[in-house]
Amino acid sequence: MTAPLKTRVLKADAATVAEAARVLASGGLVAFPTETVYGLGADATDGRAVARLYAAKGRPAFNPLIAHVVDMKAAQMLARFNPKAAQLAKAFWPGPLTLVLPKAAKCRVADLATAGLDTIAVRVPNHHVARDILAALGRPVVAPSANRSGHVSPTRAEHVQADLAGRIDLIVDGGATPVGVESTIVACLKEPVLLRPGGLPRAAIENVIEQKLAYAPSPTHGADQAPLAPGMLASHYAPRTRLRLNARRVEEGEVLLAFGTPLAEGARSAEKMLNLSARGDLIEAAANLFSHLRALDAAGGRAIAVMPIPADGLGEAINDRLTRAAAPR
């Protein structure tokens, strides 16, 4: 982050809800209470706002985020529900249950928010402040727990303030969160799988679907740099085309993922070139990362040459993700 922000703390009331929606709509970061823990929200459809959110949390990696929506209708704009997923949503939404589902074709959530995955985590929170903000904004809001990376999840506005003052725009103080632990996460891609135990007990879920839930901890949950377990549900997005990192020149037949200027030698003869940020802005680069990778992957080059990217700020997470994508599979 650059200059510290002035972080306002406002008591949750109708005027504050309207202000929260206004700040979110203009790309700002707002912490607000949900029934589980306080979330740090950004407009899910705004890649730059999402990039700023990762920077504010100080996450060394881009973990996929949960998209919060106001109701089932809004959820269906983002994700596809199989019958079991629909059953769970009907039984437990609004409430402390997050469903990981296949992304809908019409989903407008930024690629960075889902870390480039074809799946998306969705939840309908059961807290009047969260719901009022979502309704006022009329768009999905991504919200990880509103703590600095590696710290515990906040259940009061004061916890958020201690961790994030100077790094976010607004904290909506709605008192202590009633549940106090994060939502339970269930993937419904084929058979339902428990990814994270949380505020909704496993037994309640098993009662509704009338079957036992397998438990597969998400590799991106918990420790921010949990090891990548191949084949697991949240396994990372990886392009099919080979990546060549820290490229200072473009080889024959390669496409180029550029950063800043001057461009790598031979950039003009690249089959295709996309610049993460021509002016060398790491927030802009993060917002473009996954969509540029996808577009270059589709261009059919021999390899994707990637120019060096500085390791400061969001550069650490960008390099982390590029290194994973470049690892031999």
CB hemisphere CA count around 41 (13 angstroms):
32
Number of CB atoms found within 10 A of residue 269's CB: 13
| By CB under 6 A, residue 183 contacts ligand TXA | yes
| By CB under 6 A, residue 160 contacts ligand TXA | no
Return d(Cα 178, Cα 199) in angstroms, integer. 10
Applying CB under 6 A, among 55, 79, 120, 257 the residue interacting with ligand TXA is: 120
Q: Which stretch binds ligand TXA (CB under 6 A): 33-41, 73-81, 275-283, 317-325?
A: 33-41
Chosen from Mg ion, ligand TXA, none, partner binding at 220 (C-beta under 5 to 8 Å by type): ligand TXA
**Measured distance between the N- and C-terminal CA atoms of the chain, rounded to whole angstroms:** 34
Q: Which CB, 39 or 192, lies closer to ligand TXA?
A: 39
Q: Which of 180, 149, 177, 160 is nearest to 9 (CA)?
A: 160
| By CB under 6 A, residue 65 contacts ligand TXA | yes
Return d(Cα 321, Cα 40) in angstroms, integer. 22
Applying CB under 6 A, among 47, 116, 144, 313 the residue interacting with ligand TXA is: 144
Return d(Cα 140, Cα 274) in angstroms, integer. 28
Q: From the centroid of its chain, how far is CA 90?
A: 24
| By CB under 6 A, residue 161 contacts ligand TXA | no
| By CB under 6 A, residue 185 contacts ligand TXA | yes
| By CB under 6 A, residue 164 contacts ligand TXA | no
Amino acid letter for position 266:
G
Q: Which CB, 145 or 155, lies closer to Mg ion?
A: 145
Question: With left for phi above 0 and alpha for psi between -120 and 50, is residue 210 left, alpha or beta?
Answer: left
Do 212 and 71 contact (CB within 8 A), yes or no? no
Applying CB under 6 A, among 5, 12, 37, 287 the residue interacting with ligand TXA is: 37
| By CB under 6 A, residue 241 contacts ligand TXA | no
Applying CB under 6 A, among 46, 51, 85, 119 the residue interacting with ligand TXA is: 119
Q: Which CB, 55 or 250, lies closer to ligand TXA?
A: 55
Return d(Cα 227, Cα 148) in angstroms, integer. 20
Task: Concatenate the DSSP letters of all residues of 80-124 into one string.
Answer: ---HHHHHHHHHH-SSSEEEEEEBPTT--S-TTTTTT-SEEEEE-
| By CB under 6 A, residue 256 contacts ligand TXA | no
For Mg ion, the nearest residue by Cβ is 145
Number of CB atoms found within 10 A of residue 181's CB: 16
| By CB under 6 A, residue 98 contacts ligand TXA | yes
| By CB under 6 A, residue 116 contacts ligand TXA | no
Least distance (Å) between residue 57 CB and Mg ion: 9
What contacts 285, CB < 8 A, 6 or more positions away?
259, 276, 277, 309, 314, 315, 318
Least distance (Å) between residue 145 CB and Mg ion: 3
Least distance (Å) between residue 278 CB and ligand TXA: 30
Q: Which CB, 119 or 145, lies closer to Mg ion?
A: 145
Report the run of H or E that residue 163 belongs to, with start and end: helix 157-164
Q: Which stretch binds ligand TXA (CB under 6 A): 6-14, 117-125, 243-251, 315-323?
A: 117-125
Applying CB under 6 A, among 20, 53, 69, 145 the residue interacting with ligand TXA is: 145
Least distance (Å) between residue 198 CB and ligand TXA: 6
Residues that bind ligand TXA (CB under 6 A): 34, 36-37, 39, 63-66, 98, 100, 114, 117, 119-121, 143-145, 182-183, 185, 195, 218, 220-221, 233-234
